[in-house]
Structure 1
Amino acid sequence: MGNTFYFGFEPQLMEWLQNLLGEAGAGFISHFSALGEETVLLFILGFLYWCYDKQFGIYIGTNAVLGGVLNPLIKNIALRLRPYMVHENIKCFRPVEKSGALDDISAQGYSFPSAHSMNSATVYGSLAGYLKNRFVLIIAIIIPFLVGISRVVVGVHYPTDVLTGWATGIAIVFIVPLIYEKVGEERRSLLNLIFFAVSSIGFFYCKTSDYYTAMGVMAGFYLAIEFEKRFVNFEETRKPLEIIIRLVGGAAVYLVLNTALKLPFSKEFLASNTTGAFMVRFIRYTIVVFVMLGVYPMLFKFFKKKEN
């Protein structure tokens, strides 16, 4: 099930780019997509939150989780099929879910707007907005541009998907911080609860796994920030060795916990795209993000005390 709508120039441009670049060129361009994917964005958030500046990390994370949820909320309304699903001359060089079938909408998701473009505009735009540095601003323009172009070249997004993703991400960078500033720090928790409650409308109509992943990340992030503020209150570090240890440790926590929480369930169930599988995904990501941002930093305080 899905909708097909596009401007005439869009598939023509995509076919021209793929023919011009060839499979090798498209494969090379596809690597820019990684700059807007979960692993890289989590690394940026982890470095800022655990090491460089906790409040900076919270600022980036707040914008990112809202963008992450808004994207599938829109996608599951527009229901726009991906270009390669509609046009036989457009190839898919980088599927969203490598383990899923290319025509499985539940696994590959819908097309409008581009999540990679939106996430990269949100995260890198937030970096520029917080630091107010000209060099960072240039980077915040170049990287989302490369990410967006790569999504068109690999055949998973129309140009209008990318343009809308960029526009929505930029809007989040400007609007969300203003809302939090207006509400004030003392009512931040209430605002988080309101955002989560409003976002929960997707439980009634979203049929793709990206929404349940994003809601789990949002829930885990909001809970972790509150828990850390009340019970942990760790200190950042600028020491290179401690930074490496914290990042490696965080990656290990993510991999171990994410794997362990899948063990009670069969691969068939997890990939079934049923309500039960979606809820397990939501709970899994809630736990993983909560532990990474709320519980894991308790180790920082423990080792700091041992040093003293």
Structure 2
Amino acid sequence: MQAAIIKDIQLLSNPILDYIFIGITMMGSSYFYFLVLPIFYWCVDKRFGLKIGIILLSSVYVNTVVKNVTMVQRPIGYPGIRSIFTQSAGGYSFPSGHAQGTTTFWGTLMVKYNRKCINVLGIASIVLVSLSRLYLGVHWPVDIIGGILIAVLIIIIGELVDSIIVESKFDIQLAYKVILAIIVPTALIILFPYTENFEYMGLVSGILIGYFVDEKYYAFTVSNSIKKQIYKIMIGALIFLALQNGLKYILPYTNVFNIVRYLICGLWLSIGAPLTFNKLKLNKRTL
């Protein structure tokens, strides 16, 4: 039945739709979120930027774990199914990382803002990205359903945890916060030591450490003119990509050093970039 659904969708296949759906599927990739999420942290709402970033990275962690536990094979190579843009289909099939990531991202936005335009855009994005994975022949329908359902569960848990943190005010010393930001991601890596988890949990540690340090000593603000916001995004994103890719040539490409590489990237996102923006007078400082 699942193969039949994919084949029916692929009856619409043509070169123009191929390029359209490849473009759509790229909007559900990790690179897209790495470029979009910092915009919230640097320019819109720092606290929410941290929240949506951690929820999304948690979703990636869960997706990696479930894929490696279930080990479902993709429809690539299945008779009668045409699979293209397979470079976007690494690892196992269930659940769909694109469907889960897109639902996590837009679902968190919809809960936060609850505006008609965002709800419509979010639902459209989830549907189109999910459909693109079937059209491209790189996922089964059950992968899409599973990814969406897991994302909804993660959003609910994320909102619950966030409300508990807000109510408790999480008022402990900086040193203890930093220790927690190291211990919790490390424990999650030890629990499920898959390659991707070394990278993303390193990023989580870096982001949290930087956020806690900024919260204590700097408290940078996000508001500014549109022109300066654009400068912030361009400078911050370019240096992030330079660090993410350039450190591969400096540090050995092993799991342990990947933690270090992504931890540095996380520190750049949450404290390095804001301090740079302060130096360049791109932030309106409160202290």
Q: Distance in 2 between matches of 1:172 and 1:301?
A: 34
Name the aligned partner's letter for residue 25 of structure 1: L
**Contact 1:224 1:294 (C-alpha < 8 Å) held by counterparts:** yes
Matched, 1:166 2:152: no
Question: Which one of 58, 65, 72 corresponds to residue 80 of structure 1?
Answer: 72
Question: Which one of 137, 157, 160 corresponds to residue 178 of structure 1?
Answer: 160
**Contact 1:52 1:238 (C-alpha < 8 Å) held by counterparts:** no
Q: CA deviation at 1:304?
A: 3.3
Name the aligned partner's letter for residue 36 of structure 1: G
Q: Please say which of residues 170-179 and 119-128 is displaced more in the overlay.
A: 170-179
Q: Distance in 2 between matches of 1:232 and 1:243?
A: 19
Q: Distance in 1 between matches of 2:191 and 2:283?
A: 46
Matched, 1:142 2:124: yes
Matched, 1:126 2:117: no
Residues 305 and 82 of structure 1: is their aligned pair in 2 closer, same or farther, counting only changes over 3 Å?
Answer: closer
Q: CA deviation at 1:82?
A: 1.3
Name the aligned partner's letter for residue 89 of structure 1: G
Question: Which one of 276, 279, 286 corresponds to residue 302 of structure 1?
Answer: 279
Question: Gaps (5+ residues) in structure 2?
Answer: none
Deviation digits for residues 149-208 of structure 1 (CA, Å, limit 9, x no counterpart): 10111111111111111111122222212122124331694876675255224544x3xx
Aligned match of 1:226 = 212
Q: Distance in 2 between matches of 1:114 and 1:35?
A: 14
Matched, 1:255 2:241: yes
Name the aligned partner's letter for residue 189 of structure 2: S
Deviation digits for residues 52-96 of structure 1 (CA, Å, limit 9, x no counterpart): 1111212211211111211101111011111104x1432321224
Aligned match of 2:56 = 64
Question: Gaps (5+ residues) in structure 1?
Answer: 1-8, 103-107, 271-276
Question: Which one of 97, 105, 116 corresponds to residue 98 of structure 2?
Answer: 116
The equivalences for 1:1-308 within 5 A come to 9-85=1-77, 87-96=78-87, 108-183=90-165, 184-186=168-170, 189=177, 195-204=184-193, 206=194, 209-264=195-250, 270=253, 277-304=254-281
Q: Distance in 2 between matches of 1:307 and 1:121?
A: 33
Q: Distance in 2 between matches of 1:51 and 1:306?
A: 9
Deviation digits for residues 10-63 of structure 1 (CA, Å, limit 9, x no counterpart): 112112322331354233222111221123222331111101111121221121
**Contact 1:219 1:286 (C-alpha < 8 Å) held by counterparts:** yes
**Contact 2:74 2:93 (C-alpha < 8 Å) held by counterparts:** yes
| Percentage of matched positions with identical amino acids | 23
Residues 192 and 67 of structure 1: is their aligned pair in 2 closer, same or farther, counting only changes over 3 Å?
Answer: farther
Name the aligned partner's letter for residue 92 of structure 1: S
Provide the aligned length of Structure 1 versus Structure 2.
278
Normalising to structure 2: TM-score of the pair? Answer: 0.86
Q: Distance in 1 between matches of 2:230 and 2:5?
A: 43
Q: CA deviation at 1:262?
A: 1.3
Q: Distance in 2 between matches of 1:306 and 1:91?
A: 50
Q: Distance in 2 between matches of 1:294 and 1:113?
A: 33
Residues 94 and 210 of structure 1: is their aligned pair in 2 closer, same or farther, counting only changes over 3 Å?
Answer: farther
Aligned match of 1:4 = none
RMSD over aligned CA atoms reads 2.6
Residues 233 and 155 of structure 1: is their aligned pair in 2 closer, same or farther, counting only changes over 3 Å?
Answer: same
Normalising to structure 1: TM-score of the pair? Answer: 0.81
Aligned match of 1:6 = none
